A and B are shown apart, each in its own frame.
Chain A
Amino acid sequence: MQNINAIFKKEFRSYFNSAIAYIFITFFLGITSWLFFRTFFISGQAEMRGFFGIMPWIFLFFIPAVTMKLWAEEKKIGTAEILMTLPIRDYEVILGKFLASFGLLAVTALFSLGIPISVMYLGDPDGGTIVCGYVGLLLMGGAYLAIGLFASTLTENQIVAFILGITTCFVLLIIGEDIVLFSSPDWLYPIFSYLGLGAHYSSILRGVIDSRDIIYYLTIIGFFLYLSTLSVESRKWR
């Protein structure tokens, strides 16, 4: 635990020591607020479905940008060699790094609370769906982060990590989209609709937190963190 904590603190601080955290938070909030409020006043409904609805697509570009450096940079500068010869297990490093990126996401989500607060000021939205929306947002964001982290372990080039992350998330996202589902063979339908990154999120957005959806996201997170650990360990055998 102490090791995970140490890695978490180091990585989390590194986000805020460099400009990454500030740029991320500013642009994320700027873009999402703009996209949300431009239709909000036209529809005239005090709800946040528009805000949460665009998240799977916004995350697609923002999250891999947060995770791309997590491992690729360590490989590139060679700091991995010191890190991985410290008395610390590979999974502890991966977990610490994941939690740090999750921390940044959580801080961003915290700042975005300005949006529901202004919606509440303007009207009377359903508080329950907003809470559910945030739970879903963090769960889905976690899954994107784990995928992005895995992509980062595969290369020492951050740009490659970024694009790999986007591509993987994109594929996992669209297989759950209706267009893909309708055109896919019958036997693939249940698999695709279960695996799709967005489907579980939209069911959470409806205001029902189903344990299956939570388990789905935790499984995806666990699976990709496991893959990341394997990928980091693979240096030993190459």
Chain B
Amino acid sequence: MIEVRELTKSYGPTLAVNQVSFDAHAGEVVGFIGPNGAGKTTTMRILTCYLTADAGSATVAGYDVVENPIDVRKNVGYLPESAPLYADMGVVDYLKFMTEIREIPKSQRKERLRAVVDICGLEGVIQKDIGELSKGYRQRVGLAQSLIHDPPILILDEPTSGLDPSQTIEIRNLIKDIGKEKLVLFSTHILPEVAATCDRILIISQGEIVANGTHDELIGQIRSEDKLHVTIQGSEEAITPKLQELDGITGIHCVSSDNGVVKYEITTSQEGYYAAGDVYNVVVKNEWVLVELRQESVDLEQVFLHFTTGETSSIIPAREIMRAEDSTEEE
């Protein structure tokens, strides 16, 4: 549905989007995350034909964004950042205006209007002017506008910014719902939101796509070794050698040992749960008491930091290694 190939766009000397390529398909919710100024909005503006890229190509719903901008826009519902709306218009007038421009047949206009009012929860404010609405309701009117023609593709730029927690959850559920049949591409700063709603995550940093995959895939990519936290009742002298015998254990660090309780941090080159199984078996075999056995989980925050800054505590920044390799090849 969306195919982006080596899209590049600069504003004067600033490179906003650099060689961005990705695909997205119907029935997918794609989260677009990245630091401020990473190029999320620019990419979305190119996809909605608001801006034109300097190089590269993009097709949306099978139409080229440069050659068939009108057809692209017909298939896309777009909510720009902070939902800019005409403050002097009434909510209904505004949505009616949209049904006209979207060329919805007259017979269906009422029905569509009612549908989006329903979906976005606008019943209470339908008689008001947009200027009187709170930020959250404005955001919803913006969303209603983008849904009014029932588009196969929805592009939302920070749809939940400025909403209160319950509204945020509503919008998230809405996005999930819509994403069952359609393609939703949305950007956000809020990482738990991405984990909660997205089928796929695109991380963009300094104009480049630095990661593209499902939540689990991305976590898998940055995990070079797993870490286990183990607490066992027993004596350190007895336990440590037994643990060292295990396969794939790359490091054992005794954090504390008092009152007959020993705390370890174990790193393993295997998948964490394998090593955990081995540790458990050793404990059982020696009839020690297992107090704690926990695998340290990598969360999206670490993934994000890793891909956007190359900084994570225990994890080697893969991107920097790749860069180093690139430069040696050039030499």
Contact = CB atoms under 8 A, between A and B. Distances in A.
A79 B78 contact: no
Contact of A10 (B76, B85, B97): B97
A121 to B, nearest CB: 39
Contacts of A88: 70, 73, 101
Interface stretch (A13-21, A38-46, A150-158, A161-169): A13-21
A87 B88 contact: no
A179 interface: no
A24 to B, nearest CB: 16
A219 interface: no
A77 B100 contact: no
Contact of B74 (A10, A87, A237): A87
Given A6-B101, A86-B102, A87-B103, A81 B70 contact: no
A2 interface: yes
Interface in B41-96: 45, 48-52, 70-71, 73-74, 76, 78, 80, 82, 84-89, 93
Contact of A78 (B52, B76, B80): B80
B52 A237 contact: yes
Contacts of B11: 238
A81 B89 contact: no
B77 to A, nearest CB: 9
B18 interface: no
A86 B73 contact: yes
A5 B96 CA distance: 13
Contacts of B160: none
Interface in A1-15: 2-3, 5-7, 9-10, 13-14
A88 B78 CA distance: 14
Interface string A88-127: 1100000000000000000000000000000000000000
A235 B51 contact: yes
Interface residues of A, number: 26
B166 to A, nearest CB: 26
A81 B52 contact: no
A79 B52 contact: no
Given A2-B100, A6-B101, A82-B84, A14 B89 contact: yes
B145 interface: yes
Nearest to A6: B100
Nearest to B79: A82
Contacts of B82: 78
Contact of A79 (B71, B86, B102): B86
Given A2-B103, A10-B97, A18-B88, A82 B51 contact: no
| Residue of A5, A82, A89, A237 with most chain B CB atoms under a 10 A cut-off | A82
B103 A82 contact: no
A183 interface: no
A238 B142 CA distance: 26
Interface string A13-33: 110011000000000000000
A211 interface: no
Given A78-B82, A236-B52, A87 B93 contact: no
Contacts of A85: 45, 48-50, 73, 76, 78, 80
Contacts of A17: 88-89
A9 B101 CA distance: 11
Contacts of A236: 50-52
A78 B89 contact: no
Interface string A63-78: 0000000000000011
Given A10-B89, A14-B86, 14 more contacts: A5-B100, A6-B97, A6-B100, A6-B101, A17-B89, A77-B84, A78-B80, A85-B49, A85-B50, A85-B73, A85-B80, A86-B73, A87-B102, A87-B103
14 contacts: A3-B101, A6-B97, A10-B89, A17-B89, A81-B84, A82-B84, A85-B48, A85-B49, A85-B80, A86-B98, A86-B102, A87-B70, A87-B102, A238-B11
**Interchain residue pairs A-B with the least CB separation, the first 7:** A78-B84, A6-B100, A236-B52, A85-B48, A81-B80, A87-B73, A87-B74
